[in-house]
Amino acid sequence: MTREEAIFEYRRKDDDGEFDKKIISRKPKDVRYDTATLECGHIVDINASMLKLSAFATDKFPCSKCQDAWMIEHGLKSRPHGE
């Protein structure tokens, strides 16, 4: 896959909601953020007020860690230091 193809593939997956993962549990972290465990096993901080927006009026949330993992695997993002 070329870089260009990877970018289009990423966008398609994102549009299709393939990175949207079911929220298994949520607990408040601070006044703005909740710490959520997603079905993929990733633990992410999500902005609690974002979940009130209609776009997120589901029990799913786009997992930034799954997005990053895909981008790293396909050369669209470099691996974070220490990993």
Q: Which of residues 3-42 bind Zn ion (CB under 5 A)?
A: 40, 42
Stretch that binds Zn ion, among 4-12, 27-35, 57-65, 75-83 (CB under 5 A): 57-65
Q: Is residue 66 near Zn ion by the rule CB under 5 A?
A: yes
Q: Among 60, 65, 74, 77, which residue sits at the site for Zn ion (rule: CB under 5 A)? A: 65
Distance CA 70, CA 50 (A): 23
Q: Is residue 60 near Zn ion by the rule CB under 5 A?
A: no
3-state secondary structure of 66: helix
Which residue(s) pair with 58 in the sheet?
none
The DSSP code for 31 is S
Q: Which of 69, 66, 70 is nearest to 44 (CA)?
A: 66
Q: What angle do CA 74, 23, 63 make, to 5 degrees?
A: 20
**CB of 55: closest distance to Zn ion in angstroms?**
19
**CB of 32: closest distance to Zn ion in angstroms?**
21
**CB of 2: closest distance to Zn ion in angstroms?**
25
